[in-house]
Structure formats: structure tokens, C-alpha cells
Structure 1
Amino acid sequence: MKTWGEALGRGAGAHFSRVGRLRRALLLLAAAACTAAALLYWRQQTDPSDRRPLHVYSSVSPIMTSNLYYKNKSSSATPSAASSLNFTIISVPQWTWICRSDRCERLLASESVPLQSLPTCNMLCASTQLWPQPTGPVSLATAAVPVRADQYSLKIIYSPSRAVTEHLNDAFGLFKDDLRHLERSHGDNRHMDVGTPREVIVRVSVNGTADPRLRLNTDESYTLNMRPNGNIILVDISAQSFCGARHGFETMSQLIWLDPYAGSLLTLEAANVQDKPRFHYRGLLLDTARNYFSVKEILRTIDAMAACKLNTFHWHASDSQSFPLKLNSAPRLAEHGAYSPGAIYTQEDVKTIVRRAKLRGIRVLIEVDAPAHVGRAWAWGPEAGLGHLAYCVEQTPWNSYCGEPPCGQLNPRNPHVYDLLTHIYAEIIKLTDVDDIFHLGGDEVSERCWKQHFNDTDPMNLWLDFTRQALKSLQRANGGRLPELTLLWSSRLTRSPYLEKLDVKNIGIQIWGSSSWPESRAVLDAGFRSIISHVDAWYLDCGFGSWRDSSDGHCGPYRSWQRVYEHRPWVDEQPASLSSADVNPWRIDGGAACQWTEQLGPGGLDSRVWPRAAALAERLWSDRSEGAAADVYLRLDTQRARLVAKGVRAAPLWPQWCSHNPHACL
């Protein structure tokens, strides 16, 4: 039996033991707090580019809870308080954005300020954030709901052909792939719960052409209607062509974004868009002859074009420097003209590029330049018993025979040249499935070269005769009929008196000269169908200095995206020589930016082209009368972020601080 004193002693010992355990617990808590403070201090001192405070939250409680669907223009979610001694150190956002007076303002994140990411604020504030800006009425909700890629489904209400149905299904598959890629990019940190993802049913009706290809007369218009129906989001897309419906998919994708704070995709819960392009031809030229670009880079370029609703990939496949295109009809061209066996585009490569382009609503226009801009690829004629297919190949001094080394141009009096061209053109048409438009090249012929070999004839007349013979080759290659539009580059041949000798019914001109040159306007005044590629606005290779000893080997200055955007050469459409009663003869089908690659190689393509080509895309789609206003900066910055999220290494418009505080930079 214990005595009272023994019981008291044991009770006191137990009391002091509990005090000791509590003291140890407090010491551990203090140590954890000191550790957190030290980590915070270290983080702020060592990572000045992203000084996000480290907050201590309970690993038991949710970091942030919000069942709101952003019914207002800013979220009201706030961080939860710590509710457990089981601590976890988690990096949380430093900044939050709120919409005030139709603009997003950046604030330090805290428990007293609603936490909202910049992408969400941008999408729910004043600007439409669509690129290119639609040409018809637009109505967008200011409420957003969570979605997931695997909960989007397609229902084809009406399709005019099996081919259109297959293209719609495959294009929708690419749309979902893009969403999955976006989902995978969010990382693991989630700071808020935005609720259960909604199911989205996309219903499509194509009520026009049964041909899924992009044609010169394709109606690319579409309407999009998105609305909630219970727990489901219904999206109705109506178009007259597959291409129009695909543009509807693209606009729908721009109503979806990744919220980095939620780690979830969000979409506007309602939208109405009516849209169609101003111009039918909206192109980007890529030169793969001066320097070789991989198929992967070309596919990424096509995906970026589609994101901006550009519709023509002008593939300048050959030049005097190299001939990287392996053709079954003329395999020796690549054998003698490619830089290496690894710098060749095979038949399968071309088919892969064409297939992706078709599903993105883009035509591939392959140009094998002639009669100039040919080189050693054509020098094998004598050994094959075909005579000289080309003259002046790598002639020196080069600056007496061509604009840049190496020189070379086709023999206009060798019939084997035209037989080869017939086979080449037929194979290109078969590979691309484009037979209503074709590009013959046709620029910068050296009169001296031909005069040296044919001193009995005016070189300009030889050039004119070559063009007519090449057209006959194209006609044979295209089943006995010429394409609706056959393009030539503007040149000395498109100046008077030779311009008047060209067939205005079948020939169109891609005008590359300066917009201020009289010969550029003369083509338009003569009534030729035209594609505008003015060097003073839409040549993306300009402004990087000379790559040769001569300072003449470059154009300058750099064409900024603002310069690209603000160029509207068709606004003065009435020639001064015409009275008001005359019909305007200008026939502008559209335009194209040109990326020549003398000073551009693999790895640098994205930042050189984007976002400048996106600026061209809106000019040719919407043709808004105003210049690069504040809204344009904001939307283009958002579009640039979309391209980056797709893996396109687009150049920034401005410092990141301006993206965080855009109105302070305008």
C-alpha cells in the first residue's frame, strides 16, 4: 500500500514529466518556425527573379478552397489557416491580379486579398483575348468553369462527305492533344480548388462543300455558340467548310486556359462568335534551301500558323544553294543538290507535313524556283545525256551573274528542262493535293548569263518564252488544265513592256518589292491577282546586317511586329488614273510574310517568326482600321503566351514586368 507522500512524489514527477514533454514540443515548434524563417530569407536572397514567399500551411488542411466559378471578375478565394502541428513548407504565389476599371492590376498576394492568376484575370476582365480578332459580333461571359481534356467529346450533327467527317474527327483529336499538352504543363502545386470539371459536348455542322481541302474559293466563315446546360457545357459550331469548322475549334481553344494557381484548365462558360476572314490567302513563306530545317520545326511552325488562322504554308523548297527535296520523278536533284543525306525531305516527310497542314486548315504550296535560283542540283545533264540543263552554275565573279552566291539558271532552249519540270510539277501536285494554285518562282534572271550563251536573242524575250513553256509544263502536269491561279514573283518581267505580255487570266503576281516602288503598284493597276509580300513591311529576315563582304547583301531595318501589323497597302485602292465611274482593278487575294534563311538556322526559327507572323495573321484576317492600340498589345501578349505553351519559342513583346503590369507600359 502506497503512502500519501509516495503518491504525492509520483504525482509531482508525472507533472514535471508532462511539462518536459510540452517544453520539448514548444522547442520543436520554435525550431520549425526558425527553419521556415531561414528558408524564406535564403529564398529571397538567392532567387531575385521569382521571390515568392514561403508560407507554412498544414498538410492536413487544404491549401486553398474555392467552389466559386468566378462569377465575378475576380476570385474571392483566400488561403486557409494552419490547423495542425503537422507542418509542410509549400511555395505559394507572390502575386495576385484583380480587375479594376477593365484592367488587371497586380497586388502582393496575402490572406486579405483574393488570389487570382494573371491568365484568369486577363480572360475575365475587359478584353476579348481572341487572336485574330473576329470580324463579326462577339459576346463572351465573365464566368469560368473547370474542364479537362478527356471530358471534351465531338458530335457531328451534319457532314456533307465521309472525307469531311474524317477530317473533323482527326482535327478534333489534335485539339484534344493540345489540351492534354496544356494540362501536363501545370506542375504539382495547386493553391485553390475550382470545383468539379464540367463535361463539354461539341456539336458541329458543316453545311457546304464536301471537299475538306482549302481552295481559293473556300468559305472559311464559322459561328460558335457556347452555353451551360445543367452540369454540361454545350458548344455548337456551324460552318460552310471543314476549314471553317476547324477555325471554330481554334477559337474554342482560345476560350480555354490553364490557371497556374488551380493547376486546372478553365473555360468561359458561355460565348457567341460570328467570324470570317477579310482575305482568302494568309501565308507564311519559309525558305529551307539556304539552311535546312527539320520536319519537327516545320510541323511546329504549321501548328503556330493554325493557332493564328494563317492558311498557306509557302514552302520555298529549293534555291541555288541546295535542293533538299527528294522527288521520285527527279531523284538526281537531291542527290546532287542536298547539303548532306541528313538534310533531305523524303516523300514521307512531305506527306507528314501535308497531312498535319490539312488538319490545321492549311494548304502547302511548294515552290521549286525557276529559271534562276538553281545551282549544282541541275548540273548533271551532260553525264545523263540530257545536255546542259543549266548554265552559269557557280560562275565567278558571282556578283556579275546573280544576286547572291552561288549562281545558276536553267537553259531555256533545252527541251529536257521542260520535260523535267512537267514531272516535278505533277509530283508536287500529287504530294500536296493542291491543284488550284501553283507557284513557278521566276525572279532575278541574269541577263548576262543568257546573253553569254544566247547572243542572238534578247534575254528578256527568252525569259518570257521560258515562262510560257513552264506554263505548258504545268498544264500537262495538272491533267491538261492550268490551275486557277499560277503565281510568279514580281520582277523585271512584271514591268512594262513585258507585263502586258503576261496572261492576266491565269497568272498572279506575288509582289515582294517595296510598297513605294512604282512597279509594285503597276502590277495592281494592270489588274493581276496579287499576293502582297512587301519587303519594307513583311520580310522577316531584314535588319540583321550583311552576311557578305558587300553591304548590299541585306535589307533593313528590322521589321517590328508593329510595322507588320500596321501595314495596310490596300487602303488606297483607287488608282489616281481612274475616275469615280471606273471599276477598281485591284485584285488582292491576300498577303504573306517571308522568312528567308541566309542568316537563320535550326533552333532560331520560332523567335524570328513569332509573334511577328501572328501580327500579320490578324491584319489579313480582321484588317482592323486602327493600328497597334493598347488592346492589340494585350491580346498579342496573351497569344504569344499560348504559342509558348504549345512549345513554340516565340520572342517576348516586352519585359515580363510589362506582362504583369501591361497598362503601365502603354
Structure 2
Amino acid sequence: MKWWGDALGRGAGAQFARVGRLRRALVLLAAAACTAAALLYWRQQSDDRAHRPLHALYAGVEPQWSWVCRNYRCERLLASETSTLQSLETCNMLCDSTQLWPQPTGPVSLATAVVPVRADGFSLQVVSSPSRDVSNLLAEAFELMKENMRVLERNAAAESRQNDYGSVRDVVVKVIVNGTAETRMRLDTDESYKLSLRPGKKSLVAKITAHSFCGARHGLETLSQIVWLDPYAASLLILEAATVVDAPRFPYRGLLLDTARNFFPTKDILRTIDAMAACKLNTFHWHVTDSQSFPLRLNSAPLLAQHGAYGPGAVYTPDDVKLIVRHAKVRGIRVLMEVDAPAHVGRAWGWGPAEGLGHLAHCIEAEPWSAYCGEPPCGQLNPRNPHVYDLLERIYKEIIELTEVDDLFHLGGDEVSERCWAQHFNDTDPMDLWLEFTQRAMHSLTRANGGKAPELTLLWSSRLTRSPYLERLDSHKIGVQVWGSSRWPESRAVLDSGFRTVLSHVDAWYLDCGFGSWRDSSDGHCGPYRSWQQVYEHRPWTEENAAGAGPLGGGPGPGAGGAAPWQVEGGAACQWTEQLGAGGLDARVWPRAAALAERVWSDRAEGAAPDVYLRLDTQRARLLARGVRAAPLWPRWCQHNPHACL
């Protein structure tokens, strides 16, 4: 029994041992299978990514869409349907269109190869400069460009991601300014530039050649437009090579903002100037005062703001003006400040009798207002009071000192009420008084400018700029900003008379139109809304838009019937603000003012072609990145499927 028991015990032990060995083998086999499956999955993922030029993870989730360039257009596909994962931003930059705004006027050559870069990898070398002031301003403008790139980088995801475009490259920007030492935007400033970008041994080399600081700044702006953020790579990319030769078609490219009907904080004005610089506009026309308010506090005439501002929080101080002027200067923009006169004045001018100066203005807040002005409140200066001209001289002198603009000035001169002056001066034709006022205001301006009249002094088009009064104005010193319809005979007459002209036609470039009347239920003073397409397609200097006149040519051009050559300095969009306040400014102005910017920079014969839609949408994205809340051109679906909407 003992033997049998021992044998039984040994047999059971052997059986348990065999079972244990089998269990261990099964566990090892399962572990090996899991390891093989994991390796197979990892290899599959690695192989899949190896075929993608870009790969990115949004918190572990693959992007939903990819864009592929087919037949020179970007088409949207599900990411799962293609082995190539490419963002819309990169597809747009590499698929046919230049994506530059405004479109350059000279030859353009852009590579399709790209290189990853960092904002702090850009460095500046001022190879040649005519003055220290130019060099210093170039350094400031270069830092602004880098800061715009840093903003793009901050918009990327925080974690670093690998990309298949190679290692990050540095960019050396070499600038040569071989012209004027003047840093201000002037009427005769040469704004042309040439940009070349080439790969070097260790870095990319960008070379900008210009004849002025303003031209070089435009070159930096164009350079910044061939840098973009790819959201799938979470990296800045730049074209590997580029050549751009460029110069503006017109020397005056403006945007008017009225800050008297409603007050706009300084930060809104600064942001507007940022957007102007992105579009290469060069003149911020600041309509700073009107009959409703006088928000400009001047050291030379403090009572004007004291009596005319809406309140202490609605005033621009001299320091505010200096800040705005400096902000604009670094961006190649001049500030043209307009204190309107002799009409469009109000209670700000009503303190004359109390100060022993007599009546500085008449018809202040006269009723019924419709008999004395275009909108309430009414008021216009007293053309027979000599203190008016002394006061204007002080105002003009301080404006010139604050803005540093002494070759260009705007006197205003719109919508004078003949009835008002006829009631107070029944011995003289009101039109003669108007002409007398303009001539005496010009004398005040000349004295304020150190005894020299500005090269060009602008007046708004009005009855004074019609025959027979137009012929009594000095066309060598005075120019006209034409605001009337492009089809009005008086608009044409100014051009035919040979006056230097800035065009702001109400039927195309007034951005306040189309919102109805603030006084009643009518359509308002100017017809329908002006779309960006209408702004873009308006070419008033061409033969077909000149009601039979010869083509203008953007400078001296043939008039009609032996008239003097047309002299168009350029154009400006106008944003009047009876129905606009701070907070709505960006979307009202942009991107429509960008459409005007390309018209007066490039003046391409084509209208709003598909290429224009795509480039303007890209430019809007740049404005958004700079904090400008520009309105969309179309639904976002169209942005993702652009050619399906055209």
C-alpha cells in the first residue's frame, strides 16, 4: 500500500507539473501575440504617417479634412480618403494663386517649396541707409513684422510637433535704401520696392531694395505675406524662394474716418491703421471735427473742445494725436487731419462773444435745421470776423506740428449754407463770401506753415468747385476731393479743369451707405450698400467710367474736347459715422477698404474674379490674426470649398 501510495503521489505530482508547464507556455504565447499585434499596429501607423507630408494631432484626434491641389484649385477631402494630409492654408499658398494683397504691379515669381521657420529666427541687416532715422525706423518696422509672426505662433498648439519639411531655418533680411533720408510719407515719396528670397548655405536670405523707408516697409509687408501658420504642423512656413517687383499705381491711397458724429477710442484708430498698413494704404484721413462735436483738445484753442466735446471721456489730447501719428509713421502712413470749415461747425465755436471776439459762427443749431444744413445741428463760421482767421491759423499750425505733414493739407469746405450767410450779410453774394473765406483760410494756412503754402491743399467738391467759381481757385495750390457720384457733371468738370484730384465717389467708395436714414424710414442720403465687389470694380479713371472721356492713366492723361489733362492723385474710401460706433468699426470697414487698397495700388483691369475672392479671403485671415475683426466674405463652407461658390 505504501508503494502504491508513493507511486500515486509521484504520478499526481508529474501531472500537476505538466499542467503548470502548459499554462506557462500559453501565457508566454499570449504575451508574444499581444506584442506582435502592438508592433504591427505601431508599424502600420508609422508607415501611414511616413506617407503624409504633414501630420498633427489635435489632443489625440486626427484632423477631419485635407485639401489637395487639383487643376489649380484646392479641393476638400476627408482625411481618411487621402494619404496626403494638408491644411487649407498651405494648399492655398502653394496652389496657383499668389495670395499677395494688394497684387503687385511688377513681375512676381514664387517657389512651391516651403521651409519651416520661427519668428525669432528672423534677423535684420541694414546694408545701406541714407540716415540714422531711416535705419532706426526700419528696425522698428522689422520688429513689428516679427511680432505679427509671434502672434501666429501663439495661435498654434502649445506642444511641439514633428513635420516632414526638414529642419527649421533662419531668415536673414537684408535691406538697402538707396534714396531719400526722409522717413515721412510725402506726396513725392517713391514707394517702389524689390524683394528677393533665396536659400543660402545655412539660412534663407531675403533682400529688400527700395528708394525710401516707406518702400522698404512695403517690402517687409510683402515678405510677411509669404509666411503663414500651418495648423497641421503647428509651425510657421515660408516659401523657399520668391521675387517680387512692385510699385503703386497711385500716390494717394486713403481711408477717411469720421470721429465727430460718434467718438472712437484711440485703440480703434490704432487698430484701423494696423489694417491699413497690411493693405499698403498710405493716408489716414482723420475727419476729426464736425457740427456735432469737436473732440480735439488743442493747446492753441482749448475752448473749442471745452465747448464742443461730448464729454471728458470723448476727447483726443495732443498726446493721443502724437501716439497715433507715431503709430502710423512706422507703418508708412501719414495722418491727414481735417478740421472742417467754414460749414460743419457747431456749438464748439459759440464762445466768441463771451471772450470778446464777437460771433465766430452763425446759425448755430438754427431751426428748422433742414433750411440751413444737411443734418442737425447747423452752424458755419463768420467769414467777416478777423478773429476766425487768427484762430484758424493757430489751429492749422498745431495740426501741422502734431502730424508732421506740411506738404498736404485738407481745409474741408463742404456744404456751405448760402441762406445762413445771406441772412447776416445781405450786401454780398454768399458765393463771393465763400470764395473770400477760402482765400483767407489759405493765407492763414500759409502763415501757419512757416510762410509756405503746402504743395497740395484739398477741398471737398461743392458748389464752389463748379463753374464759374472753380476757375477762380488756384489750381497750382488747391486740389479737390470729389465725393459726388462719378456720373455727376460737376465731378467730371473738376477733372476736365486740370485740378489735382482725390476720388471718393459716393456711388462706390462711401462705406456708410445702405443702412437707411437715421432720421426717418427712408433709404437715407446714399443708395444701397456698397459691397466689396462694387468697391473693387470701380475704376473711374477709365474711358468707360468717364462718360465718354479719354482714359485717364493714373496721372496726367487726356481730357476731353481740349480740356486740361486729368490729374488723379488716387482715391479714398470714406467711413462716416452717424450710424456707427466703437465696436462696429472693423466689420463695417474691412475687408471693403482692402478692396479699395488693391484698386488704387494695382488697378488690375479684371473685376472680382475667383482669384480675387481667394486672395481677399486670405487677407481677411491676416487681418483677423492682427486683431482686426473683419467681416466674412462668405459662409465658412465656401472658405473650405472656394471654387464651389464661384
- TM-score with structure 2 setting the length: 0.91
- State the Cα distance separating 1:113 from its structure 2 match: 2.1
2:496–2:560 Cα contact (<8 Å) kept: no
Report whether the alignment pairs 1:210 with 2:181: yes
Give the % identical residues.
69
> Equivalent of 1:103, from 53, 73, 84?
73
Amino acid across the alignment from 2:404: D
**Uncovered stretches (5+) of structure 1, i.e. residues with no partner:** 28-56, 67-74, 81-86
**How big is the shift at 1:391?**
1.2
Supply the distance in 1 between the matched residues of 2:14 and 2:128 (Cα, whole angstroms): 90
SS of aligned partner of 1:91? coil
Alignment of 1:457-536 (within 5 A): 457-536=428-507
2:38 alignment partner in structure 1: none
- Gap change, CA 1:324 and 1:8, over 3 Å in 2: farther
The residue that corresponds to 2:53 in the other structure is 77
The reply on whether 1:288 has 2:227 as its aligned counterpart is no
Q: Cα distance 1:582–1:401, how it changes in 2: closer, same or farther (>3 A)?
A: closer
Aligned match of 1:588:
568
- Please list, as runs of the form range in 1=range in 2, the aligned pairs for 1:365-404 lying within 5 A after superposition: 365-404=336-375
- Bigger shift: residues 186-195 or 471-480: 186-195
Indicate if the aligned counterparts of 2:515 and 2:524 stay in contact, CA closer than 8 A. Answer: no
Conservation of the 8 A alpha-carbon contact between 2:296 and 2:316? yes
Deviations 1:376-414 (A, max 9, x none): 111111111211111111111111111001111111111
Deviations 1:121-179 (A, max 9, x none): 01111011111111000000000100111010000010001111111111111111111
The Cα of 1:98 is off from its aligned counterpart by 0.9
Aligned positions, number: 625
Once the 2 structures are TM-superposed, how far is the Cα of residue 422 of structure 1 from its aligned partner?
Answer: 0.5
Q: Which residue of 2 aligns with 1:167?
A: 137
The residue identity in structure 1 corresponding to 2:76 is R
Residue in 1 that maps onto 2:121: 151
The answer to whether the 8 A contact 1:63-1:192 is kept is no
Counterpart pick for 1:265 among 236, 240, 253: 236
Name which of 281, 287, 295 aligns with 1:316: 287
Select the residue among 187, 201, 208 that pairs with 2:157: 187
Q: CA deviation at 1:340?
A: 1.4
2:323 is aligned to 352
**How far apart are residue 191 of structure 1 and its match?**
6.4
Q: Aligned-pair distance for 1:453?
A: 1.3
Alignment of 1:634-653 (within 5 A): 634-653=614-633
CA distance in 1, matches of 2:490, 2:100: 37
Distance of aligned partners of 1:22 and 1:283 in 2 relative to their CA distance in 1, 3 Å threshold: farther
**Contact 1:64–1:192, Cα closer than 8 Å, also in 2:** no
Amino acid at match of 2:380: Q
Structure 2 distance, partners of 1:64, 1:477, is 73
Preserved CA contact (<8 Å) 1:256 1:267: yes
Deviations 1:265-305 (A, max 9, x none): 00001000100000000000000111111111111111111
1:330 and 1:8 map into 2 onto residues whose CA distance is: 112
* Structure 2 Cα separation of the partners of residues 123 and 492 of structure 1: 50
**Structure 1 residues 591 and 64, CA gap change in structure 2 (3 angstroms):** farther
Aligned residue in 2 for 1:200: 171
Query: TM-score, normalising length from structure 1?
Result: 0.89
Structure 1 residue 549: deviation in Å?
Answer: 2.3
The 5 A counterparts of 1:56-135 are 76-77=52-53, 90-110=60-80, 112-135=82-105
* Partner Cα distance (2:273, 2:637) in 1: 30
Residues 4 and 255 of structure 1, relative CA distance in 2, 3 Å threshold: farther
Query: Which consecutive residues of structure 2, in runs of 5 or more, have no partner in the other structure?
Result: 1-5, 35-40, 552-557
Structure 1 residues 100 and 215 mapped into 2: Cα distance closer, same or farther (>3 Å)?
A: same
CA distance in 1, matches of 2:622, 2:122: 20
State the SS of the aligned residue for 2:572: strand
Map 1:422-433 to 2 at 5 A: 422-433=393-404
Q: Relative to 1, partners in 2 of residues 1:482 and 1:92: Cα closer, same or farther, differing over 3 Å?
A: same
Aligned pairs (5 A) from 1:7-18: 9=16
CA RMSD in angstroms comes to 3.0
**Partner amino acid, structure 1, of 2:571:** G
User: Do the aligned partners of 1:543 and 1:554 also contact (CA within 8 Å) in 2?
Assistant: no
Q: 1:89 to 1:259 in 2, by over 3 A?
A: closer
* Distance in 2 (alpha carbons) for counterparts of 1:655 and 1:89: 27
Whichever residue aligns with residue 324 of structure 2, its letter is I
Q: 1:15 to 1:552 in 2, by over 3 A?
A: same
CA distance in 2, matches of 1:357, 1:134: 22
CA distance in 1, matches of 2:112, 2:560: 47
Q: Structure 2: how far apart are the matches of 1:292 and 1:314?
A: 15
